[in-house]
Structure 1
Amino acid sequence: MRYLRIAALGGLCLLLGACQSLFAPGLGEPLNARRTSFEHLKPGCQGEQCPLVNVDTLSFDDEPALGAAIEAQLLDLVRATPDSPRPTSLDSYEKRFLDSAQPGWSSYLQAKVREQHDGLVIVELSSYVFSGGEYGRPGRAFINYDRRLHKVLSLQDILLPGQEKAFWDTARLAHQAWIVQNKLIEQDPNFVKDWPFQQTPHFALTFGALTLKYDIDRIAPHSVGHPELKIPYPRLNGIVKPYYFPGRGAQ
């Protein structure tokens, strides 16, 4: 009888087109991640200066689209310029990097779950590629994955129609507050002139406040690292779709 009930429920799910897999975690439960990590040196190399590729990434059996999005974003982070072609896979990137690498070169890639709430999985990605010179190239990115829609959210996906300007105006106020909180004008009277507000593609629907993250040398000197701006959700009323406010989404 129990198996008949499960079969009947499965048939109802197919008819309605709105049910999760019977055996997948509900939207209120954390999604289980499968971690893959490795470090490979340039073949045949020995010693402390051997070039290396270090990868620490995630995949999700119940959400394969999220794993694919993570790999694609990591590969975007290692592109030398925005116009450079994306490597076809982590394996092909590793081979190409190590084949051409000089002593001391290194590439680090990492993906980690920063938060899960309301049917959302927030993944933070980081990279550091050193291929000579004074500094390496650090990179950061976010993925906001909606388990209800099975897709990565763009900024346009979370905003109410026509509210993009209002969103960035609110972000500008958060930037001003960030400058004051960190006493940056006291350290450099020309800070606002030298490091004006700019938009960023990196946003995260984190629980306490919406987070904007910036690349190094974008809105602050290299020594500041990757700045984060926080926008409290009450300031986003009428701007962000109510569904994406913490506590109002999937349970």
Structure 2
Amino acid sequence: MFKHKNICMMSVLASAVALSACQPQKAEPQPEQEKPKAEAPDQSMKLIGDSEELSLSIPNCDGNSCPEITIERLNTNQQFIDSFIDDEILKQLGQILSVEPAQDRMQAAGSEAAAASDAKSELAQVETPKIKLEKQTAPYMQAFIKLDKELKDLNSAQKISLMIKPKILNAELPLATVVLNSSSYLGGAHGSSAQQYYNFDLKAKKLVKLDEIIEPKQKAALDAKAHEAFKVWVMDSKLADSVQEYEQAWKFKRSDNYYLGKDGLILQYAEYEIGPYVVGLPRLTIPYEQLKGILKPQYFPAAGTQPASEAKAAS
């Protein structure tokens, strides 16, 4: 009896083993395949960055008449634009401040000596574009501080100031645009301000002038459109009873300082260029619909895209 029970149990166990062997086996977990990394977007056709303020040394001063100076430069992914704007900053400083020739020569000699010393030193600090521009602005800083001292020696309570700051207006196609705002007060009846626009072809890596975006033999047509915009500006601003009367004192001229705005081609003027100081920095807008056949097709705003932003006047 006992032997019979053992045989039955062995039979049941054998059946269970056979049944389990027939069950489908679970597949071993496979290592997860790495997802292909998304390619970084091409940023070479965009102007990406911001302005950075130069570290300028000004003597300690207390009171409401202390001089103020702020100079900023561009620091972007387009080095050719940064270098170009650095040079323009120096040009503007030269127009605003008078640097004595002897002082200029001394600065140049000092820069050459420093460069020679740096070349000999293996541990010399790498000169960044910011540091380079700070060195180049040194003679203008000296002229600015000297002017302030001269005014103080005359018991003047005037507060002199100077500001130069670039700003990106349009970062990509058809043209990358940078505006260089500047303002200064160096004593006298009033201060001065300016807005200069620079338009760049990022593919060709070059500055694009107004004549280059106009169709061949269309300069006269553009001048005519600009003159019409001038007439509208004169009358809307109530600067005279007639355009003819106004042009006896302030003749029309076409500005080459331009950018592609939201509503059309903007022509920017300097102080005293087509009007008295009271009109500030005049700006004429020629709508895009008036520029068909004059402006090259690639410079019209593409359908469904946002054109270049309007520039804000420097405060």
TM-score by length of 2: 0.62
Distance 1:236 1:188 in 2: 23
Whichever residue aligns with residue 24 of structure 1, its letter is: D
User: Out of 111, 122, 142, which is 1:99 matched to?
Assistant: 142
Larger radius of gyration: 2
Residue by residue over 1:6-39, the C-alpha shift from the partner in whole angstroms, topping out at 9 and shown as x without a partner, is 7xxxxxxxxxxxxxxx753274xx6322320256
Structure 2 match to 1:25: 43
Once the two structures are superposed, the pairs formed by residues 137-156 of structure 1 within 5 Å of their partners are 137-156=192-211
Corresponding residue of 1:194: 249
Question: Which residue of structure 2 lines up, in the alignment, with residue 71 of structure 1?
Answer: 86
Change (3 A) 1:209 1:188: closer
Give, in angstroms, the shift of residue 94 of structure 1. Answer: 3.2
Partners of 2:280 and 2:200 in 1: how far apart?
26
Native 8 Å contact 1:144 1:204 kept in 2: yes
Which residue is 1:80 aligned to? Answer: 95
Structure-1 residue corresponding to 2:70: 54
Aligned mates of 2:281, 2:79 — CA distance in 1: 29
- The CA distance in 2 between the partners of 1:188 and 1:26, in whole Å, is 47
Measured on the aligned residues, the alpha-carbon RMSD in Å equals: 3.5
Aligned to 1:208: 263
Cα distance in 2 for partners of 1:153, 1:172 equals 23
Alignment of 1:36 with 2:44, yes or no, is no
Tell me the equivalent position of 1:19. Answer: none
Q: Secondary structure at the match of 1:216?
A: coil
Please give the alpha-carbon distance, in whole angstroms, between the structure 1 residues aligned to 2:35 and 2:44.
20
Identity %: 25
Distance (Å, rounded) in 2 between the aligned partners of 1:178 and 1:228: 9
The runs of 5 or more residues in structure 2 that have no matched partner are: 1-33, 102-106, 109-131, 149-158, 307-315
1:235 aligns with 2:250: no
Q: Which sections of structure 1, spanning at least 5 residues, go unmatched?
A: 7-21
More strand as a share of residues:
1
Change (3 A) 1:198 1:161: same
Kept after mapping to 2: 8 A contact 1:121/1:146:
yes
Question: How far apart in 1 are the matches of 2:161 and 2:139?
Answer: 12
Cα distance change, pair 79–97 in 1 and its aligned pair in 2 (3 A)? closer
Which secondary structure does the structure 2 equivalent of 1:134 belong to? Answer: coil
Structure having the higher helix fraction is 2
Contact 1:122 1:206 in 2 (8 A): no
Structure 2 residue 187 is matched with structure 1 residue 121: no
Which is worse superposed, 129-138 or 104-113? 129-138
Distance change in 2, residues 1:235/1:147 (3 Å): same
Q: Which moved more, 1:148-157 or 1:171-180?
A: 148-157
Within 2, Cα distance between the matches of 1:119 and 1:188? 35
Residues 86-119 of structure 1, C-alpha deviation per residue, up to 9 Å, x if partnerless? x996424532122123224332101112234534
